[in-house]
């Protein structure tokens, strides 16, 4: 055990912040601390860092904090530097323990320094700049580089992905996976937590609860625990009510008085499990279906050039009904411009595009949330949908976390994130068949994001959206549109699949070529596009093209496996027949080739297993969907 807090309590200014918590770091665990704002997450980090101490507690056995040795601790705060007149080089090399500039250790330190510095998006020439010349976000990155170079036993990170672009966050994820020290972090970046941590501590009600696994696993386990505790609470209430009913029934009957007293005592002995607080977002379990189905092809374009004064990107593509496409790309590559062009808000510079028959569009961007009304949320929503009953209005509002007092707030008093949620709720309730969304979850907390994620996942219409929230992107998008320097590429799978394949491609391993082969097969299935334009878009246009590619990949493995089984079987037969026809066999002598035969037989059995596995994969690829 590297570090442990046992039955610890922390107060500040007379207010209890952490109450009788237990916390531990085992080995080089990567730990996330999650909880609502103000729950005490930063207080816990400060406690581990030694900046504050546990309250005195005469009832506690032991000191409250124990460790196997005196671990070194590095703490990344949002305010990174006090002294800013030194250059970055001076700042980062000042903590180098190897003063001999020609030593191997110093060389390795500086090489790691270069890797980290460029990995975080800096240029090597930036080393000679003063720390004060950098923005607050850049200074935080420099401070994190310094901590990673020091490699403390326990690294404490408070929102480490703030001010980082997606590419840098992805780089940091990979670095953290190979980091060989313990890390305790607070972050609202759920995808980052899923990629990096193996333990989640939830801070709620001033207490800590430990969950093994990443963020998604923690949420699943918590929901399961809430269901179990809720059922137990309800079961106990039913039992108490049953016993009390029996007491009321028999308490005035002299012959049953002893029986009634026994039941009353039994009811009093039940230690009622506290009903868990439902802090979850609402999870939609049904389907949200468009009012009109619309045509099969929602959007089509030919040589569509988008932009304002000059072209930013050019697209030739189709969007099929029911697709949920997330858009990725650096700022300035045309993502928002494309959404506005598709929605008809700005004209294209050239080329052609069309919206399918009976396609109804619901468009959202940050300006959509600029509502102004003195009406309550309930009144505002009911006026938009007057056919709904009061009960239906309250039910829908509650599903989008506008229940109770929230529904009685005036629209003008809502925050930007709450107004955005209200507009998105209105869009989904109006049930268009094509949603075009630009950063729909900006300025929303996790509970609200999870509610909207579940709504968009159950929506059966088409979605085209931009989001920098990678967890939201991964949950909702079923395919990806990549905007890169005036070129647009289509990736037919989700975000997590895309980044995994991208990382493999960077290593130069063979799988990267298979991705390329996949893309070429997909191109063959797209509708006629001039050869000069095929580098601009790689589109999965038909289910048949995808199936051909999928079966082709399996055949690449199945046929050689079958040939290997046949080859080994033939060789085994030759060896066996050679022995049976030999003079040694008839003379009853020992078969010298027996060990070789047995070894080859095992090899053939393994080849047979592999062949069977690829046969099953082919069968599932060819008939899996029909069999379900």
Q: Are 2 and 27 in contact (CB under 8 A)?
A: yes
What residues contact residue 23 under an 8 Å CB cut-off, 6+ apart? 4, 5, 8, 44, 201, 208, 210
Compute the distance between CA of residue 113 and CA of residue 181 in angstroms, rounded to an integer: 17
CA distance 323 to 490: 13
Average pLDDT over residues 578-586: 73
Six-digit token pair at 13? Answer: 């200014």
d(CA 461, CA 23): 45
Closest among 95, 163, 515 to 172, alpha carbons compared:
163
Beta carbons within 8 Å of 351's beta carbon, 6+ residues apart: 301, 302, 303, 304, 305, 314
Q: What does DSSP assign to residue 187? A: -
Give the number of other Cβ atoms within 10 Å of residue 58's Cβ.
4
Range in 16-20, 43-47, 313-317, 388-392 the model is least confident about: 313-317
Selection from 41, 35, 44 nearest residue 10 by Cα: 44
Out of 521-525, 559-563, 601-605, least confident range: 521-525
Label residue 253 exposed, middle or buried (CB < 10 Å: 0-12, 13-18, 19+). exposed
Average pLDDT of the chain to the nearest whole number? 84
Contact 10, 30 (CB under 8 A): no
pLDDT of residue 325: 93
Q: Is the pLDDT of residue 429 over 80?
A: yes
Rounded to the nearest angstrom, the gap between the alpha carbon of residue 540 and the centroid of all alpha carbons in its chain is 24
Helices (H), 346-415: 377-384, 390-399
Question: Quick one: which H or E segment has residue 67?
Answer: none
Taking the C-alpha atoms of residue 410 and residue 372, their distance in angstroms, rounded to an integer, is 9
Which range has the worst mean pLDDT, 103-107, 224-228, 316-320, 611-615?
Answer: 611-615
Least trusted range by pLDDT, from 31-40, 414-423, 492-501? 492-501
CA distance 469 to 439: 8
Domain 297-371+414-513 CATH class label: alpha beta
Q: Is the pLDDT at 542 greater than 90, yes or no? A: no
526: confidence class by pLDDT, cuts 50, 70, 90: very low
- Predicted confidence band of residue 520 (pLDDT cuts 50, 70, 90): very low
Radius of gyration in angstroms for the set of CA atoms belonging to the chain, rounded to a whole number: 32
Whether the full predicted model's pTM is greater than 0.75, yes or no, is no
Instruction: Give the pLDDT score at 515.
Output: 37
CA–CA separation, 604 vs 602, rounded Å? 5
Q: Please state, as a whole number, how many other Cβ atoms lie within 10 Å of the Cβ of residue 32.
A: 27
In angstroms, how far is CA 323 from the centroid of its own chain? 20
Query: Distance between CA atoms of 465 and 467, rounded to whole angstroms?
Result: 7
Q: How far is CA 582 from CA 260, 410, 577, 593, 600, in A?
A: 94, 98, 8, 12, 20
Tell which residue, 432, 406, 433, has the closest CA to residue 419: 406
Please tell me the predicted confidence (pLDDT) of residue 82: 59
- List, for residues 389-398, the tens digit of each pLDDT value: 999 999 999 9
Distance CA 298, CA 555 (A): 34
**pLDDT tens per residue, range 433-446:** 999 999 999 878 88
Look up the CATH number of domain 3-215.
3.40.50.300
Whether the pLDDT of residue 507 is over 70: the answer is no
Q: What are the distances in angstroms from CA 401 to CA 367, 376, 385, 447, 451?
A: 22, 15, 18, 9, 8
**Is 557 or 234 the better-scoring residue by pLDDT?**
234
The distance in angstroms from the start CA to the end CA of the chain is 48
> Is residue 370 packed enough to be buried (19+ CB in 10 Å), middle (13-18) or exposed (0-12)?
exposed
Q: For 197-216, how does the pLDDT look when each residue is reduced to its tens digit (9 = 90+)?
A: 999 999 988 999 999 999 99
Query: Which residues have a Cβ under 8 Å from the Cβ of 481 and sit 6 or more positions away?
Result: 325, 326, 327, 328, 464, 488, 489, 490, 491
Place of tokens 């411009």: 337
Residue 101 confidence (pLDDT) above 90: no
Tokens read off for 330: 């650096």
């Amino acid at each position: 055990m590297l570090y442990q807090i046992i039955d610890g309590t922390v107060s500040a200014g007379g207010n209890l912040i952490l109450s009788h918590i237990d916390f531990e770091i085992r080995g080089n665990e990567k730990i996330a601390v999650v909880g609502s704002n103000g729950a005490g997450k930063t207080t816990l980090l400060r406690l581990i860092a030694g900046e504050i101490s546990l309250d005195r507690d005469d009832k506690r056995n032991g000191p409250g904090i124990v460790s196997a040795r005196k671990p070194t601790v590095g703490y990344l705060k949002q305010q990174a530097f006090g002294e800013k007149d030194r250059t970055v080089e001076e700042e980062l090399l000042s903590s180098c323990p190897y003063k001999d500039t020609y030593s191997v250790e110093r060389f390795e330190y500086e090489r790691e320094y270069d890797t980290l510095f460029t990995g975080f998006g800096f240029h090597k020439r930036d080393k000679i700049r003063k720390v004060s010349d950098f923005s607050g976000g850049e200074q935080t990155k420099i401070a994190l580089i310094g901590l990673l170079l020091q490699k403390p036993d326990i690294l404490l990170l408070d929102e480490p992905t703030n001010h980082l672009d997606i590419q840098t966050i992805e780089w940091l994820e990979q670095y953290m996976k190979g980091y060989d020290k313990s890390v305790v972090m607070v972050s609202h970046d759920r995808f980052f937590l899923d990629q990096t941590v193996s333990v989640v501590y939830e801070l709620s009600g001033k207490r800590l609860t430990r969950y093994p696994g990443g963020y998604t696993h923690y949420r699943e386990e918590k929901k399961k625990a809430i269901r179990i505790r809720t059922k137990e609470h309800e079961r106990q209430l039913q039992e108490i009510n049953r016993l009390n009913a029996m007491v009321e029934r028999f308490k005035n009957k002299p012959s049953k008085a002893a029986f009634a007293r026994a039941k009353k005592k039994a009811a009093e002995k039940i230690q009622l499990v506290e009903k868990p607080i439902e802090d979850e977002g609402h999870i939609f379990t049904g389907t949200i279906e468009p009012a009109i189905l619309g045509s099969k092809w929602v959007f089509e374009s030919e040589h569509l050039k988008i932009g304002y004064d000059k072209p930013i990107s050019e697209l030739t593509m189709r969007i099929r009904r029911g697709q949920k496409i997330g858009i990725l790309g650096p700022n300035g590559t045309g993502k928002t411009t494309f959404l506005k062009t598709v929605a008809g808000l700005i004209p294209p510079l050239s080329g052609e595009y069309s919206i399918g028959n009976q396609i109804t569009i619901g468009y959202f961007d940050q300006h959509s949330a600029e509502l102004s009304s003195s009406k309550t949320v309930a009144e505002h929503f009911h006026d938009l949908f007057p056919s709904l009953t009061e009960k239906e209005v309250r039910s829908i509002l509650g599903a989008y976390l506008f229940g109770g007092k929230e529904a009685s707030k005036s629209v003008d008093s809502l925050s930007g994130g709450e107004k955005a949620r209200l507009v998105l709720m209105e869009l989904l309730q109006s049930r268009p068949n094509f949603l075009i969304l630009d950063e729909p979850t900006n300025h929303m907390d996790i509970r609200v994001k999870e509610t909207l994620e579940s709504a968009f996942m159950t929506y059966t219409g088409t979605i085209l959206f931009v989001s920098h929230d990678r967890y939201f992107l991964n949950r909702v998008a079923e395919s990806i549109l990549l905007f890169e320097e005036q070129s647009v590429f289509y990736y037919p799978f989700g975000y997590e699949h895309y980044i995994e394949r991208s990382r493999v491609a960077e290593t130069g391993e063979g799988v990267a070529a298979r991705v390329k082969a996949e893309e070429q097969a997909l191109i063959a299935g797209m509708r006629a596009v001039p050869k000069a334009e095929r580098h601009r878009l790689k589109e999965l246009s038909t289910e048949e093209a995808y199936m051909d590619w999928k079966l082709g990949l399996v055949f690449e493995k199945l046929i050689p496996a079958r040939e290997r089984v046949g080859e080994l079987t033939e060789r085994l037969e030759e060896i066996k027949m050679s022995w049976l026809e030999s003079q040694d066999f008839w003379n009853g002598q020992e078969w010298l080739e027996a060990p070789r035969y047995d070894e080859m037989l095992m090899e053939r059995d393994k080849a047979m297993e592999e062949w069977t596995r690829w046969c099953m994969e082919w069968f599932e690829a060819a008939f899996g969907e029909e069999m379900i």
